[in-house]
Structure formats: structure tokens, C-alpha cells
């Protein structure tokens, strides 16, 4: 069963008289426990598609469903709330705050939630990604692969259904990239999340349950 679904989604940008159809009638779905990897040339619409799945932008046409609920016409506030409780993000350049420890970085997206012991959950997640001995380290005291592990732990703090990753191995050497991919593969089962990633990294395809190719805004 799909946790996220795009149905005939189109996205048109109009800037200064120029019209770009970044997405053209895209159908896409992902289920918990699977890793879907989206590949395509530069400018093909990958980030635009990830923004639709992540509820960061709204389509020009088509429907978006989250856990089978149509969220296309939700207000910006409603989308923010849905995003916070349902979707985790991992970025190519980690996006960690330099002044905060690993634990504090992981806790950050859950600051609004007073109902759980955030510190404990953050530490548990960091231990799960092999950083139990790095809890108090700041990002500059960590390696690239360790920083990405912190970012992955952070993406899971609100127990999301979906984890979105834009080039998660883009700033890592091949060997470190591989360990991150192994980590994601393990987490997709352990945390029962759908992982949707965008990449240029050919080795990511090996770890994908499904590969989606996009060219000029159209899925092949
Ligand atoms: N905010 C915007 N305004 C106007 N055009 C945009 C905007 N965002 C993206 N585009 C255009 O939409 C198309 C798809 O862009 P998108 O960023 O989704 O590509 P991409 O596949 O992620 O490329 P890359 O691999 O280089 O990151 C491109 O032609 C781009 O110029
Ligand atoms: Mg992009």
C-alpha cells in the first residue's frame, strides 16, 4: 500500500514570459519498506518531483496523496504540519547546525513536541546509526560519513513514514557512500519507512528496490 502517491502531477514554471514544464503528468507511488531511486539528467525535474513528494511545493495540476489522504488542497500551515509528522529529509550537504552537538542536531526537528523524551530518542537513534560514542561531538569534530549519519538520525526523530534524500551520497567518497547506503537499507526495514532518493550516483542503483527514470519532466 502506498504511503505517498502522485497522480498525473504536472508542474509548470512561468518566469519572464518563459514557460517550463518541469513535470508533465507524473504518476508515482512509494510504499513503506521500499527504497525507490529517481535518476535523470540535470534539469529533468528530479528536485521538482522530490519537492512535490515532500509537500514543499504544490502542483499546477494533478493530485498528491499522503497515506491515501488527498492533501493537494491543504493550506500551507496544514502542509507544514503534515510534513513535520510524516516526512524526514536528508540532504547532500547534511544541513547540520555547527554550534550544536550531534544529539542536539538530531533533537532539533522535534522541539515542538513536548510529549516525548526527545533527548532519549535522539540518543537511541544515534546509537542505532553507530554513533553512540559521538553524542556530544559537534559537526566539525565528525567525518563526512558520520555527519550524514547524524542527518539520517535527525530525519527519523519524528518517526516519519517517508524519508526523502536528495543526493545523500553526493558529498561522500565511494566507500563512505556505500556504508550510508547500507545504513539506509537497514533503516528502511527497521523503521518501516519508504525511502525516495534522487541521485547521479550509479552505485545507489544497486541498493534500490525500484529505479525510476525521468527525462524532461516525464517518467519513462
Ligand atoms: N522555481 C523555478 N522557477 C522556474 N523554473 C524552475 C524552477 N525550479 C526549477 N525550474 C526548471 O524546471 C526544470 C526542472 O528543474 P529541477 O530542479 O527539478 O531539475 P533536476 O532534475 O533536479 O536537475 P539537477 O540534477 O541539475 O538538480 C528545469 O528546467 C529548471 O530550470
Ligand atoms: Mg536537482
Q: What is the pLDDT of residue 115?
A: 76
Q: What is the pLDDT of residue 202?
A: 83
Name the closest-CA residue to atom 18, ligand 1: 45
Distance 171 CA to ligand 2 centre (A): 14
Q: pLDDT digits over 150-190, tens only?
A: 999 999 999 999 999 999 998 889 998 999 999 999 999 99
Q: pLDDT digits over 87-145, tens only?
A: 999 988 889 999 999 999 999 998 877 777 889 999 999 999 999 999 999 999 999 99
Does residue 69 line the site of ligand 1, with CB under 6 A? no
Q: What is the pLDDT of residue 36?
A: 97
Q: pLDDT digits over 82-98, tens only?
A: 999 999 999 888 899 99
What number is the average pLDDT over the span 146-153?
A: 95
Non-local (6+) Cβ contacts of 120 within 8 A are: none
Q: Three-class SS of residue 47? A: helix
What is the residue range of 127's domain?
2-219
Does residue 13 line the site of ligand 1, with CB under 6 A? yes
Q: Please state the atom number of ligand 1 nearest to the C-alpha of residue 198.
A: 22
Residue whose grid cell is 513528494: 53
Q: What is the distance between the alpha carbons of residues 84 and 155, in angstroms, rounded to a whole number?
A: 10
Does residue 47 line the site of ligand 1, with CB under 6 A? yes
Split into its structural domains, the chain has a count of 1
CA atoms within 13 A on the CB side of 73: 1
Does residue 26 line the site of ligand 1, with CB under 6 A? no
Q: How confident is the model at residue 204 (pLDDT cuts 50, 70, 90)?
A: confident
**Which CATH number characterizes residue 188's domain?**
3.40.50.300
Q: Three-class SS of residue 201? A: coil
- φ/ψ (deg, to 5) at 151: -65, -35
Q: What is the pLDDT of residue 141?
A: 97
Name the residues around ion ligand 2, CB cutoff 5 A. Answer: 47
Name the closest-CA residue to atom 8, ligand 1: 48
Amino acid at each position: 500500500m502506498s504511503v505517498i502517491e502522485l497522480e498525473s502531477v504536472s508542474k509548470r514554471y512561468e518566469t519572464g514570459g518563459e514557460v517550463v514544464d518541469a513535470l508533465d503528468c507524473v504518476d508515482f507511488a512509494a510504499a513503506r519498506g521500499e527504497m525507490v531511486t529517481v535518476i535523470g539528467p540535470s534539469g529533468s525535474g528530479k528536485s521538482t518531483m522530490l519537492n512535490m513528494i515532500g509537500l514543499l511545493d504544490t502542483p499546477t495540476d494533478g493530485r498528491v496523496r499522503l497515506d491515501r489522504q488527498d492533501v493537494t488542497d491543504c493550506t500551507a500551515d496544514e502542509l507544514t504540519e503534515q510534513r513535520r509528522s510524516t516526512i524526514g529529509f536528508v540532504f547532500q550537504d547534511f544541513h547540520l547546525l555547527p554550534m550544536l552537538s550531534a544529539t542536539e542536531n538530531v533533537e532539533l526537528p522535534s522541539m515542538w513536541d513536548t510529549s516525548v523524551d526527545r533527548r532519549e530518542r535522539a540518543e537511541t537513534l544515534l546509537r542505532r546509526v553507530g554513533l553512540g560514542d559521538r553524542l556530544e561531538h559537534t559537526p566539525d569534530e565528525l567525518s563526512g560519513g558520520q555527519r550524514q549519519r547524524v542527518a539520517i538520525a535527525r530525519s527519523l526523530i519524528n518517526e516519519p513514514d517517508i524519508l526523502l534524500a536528495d543526493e545523500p551520497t553526493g558529498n561522500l567518497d565511494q566507500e563512505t557512500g556505500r556504508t550510508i547506503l547500507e545504513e539506509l537499507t537497514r533503516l528502511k526495514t527497521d523503521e518501516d519507512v519508504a525511502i525516495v532518493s534522487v541521485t547521479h550516483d550509479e552505485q545507489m542503483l544497486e541498493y534500490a528496490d525500484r529505479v525510476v527514470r525521468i527525462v524532461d519532466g516525464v517518467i519513462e
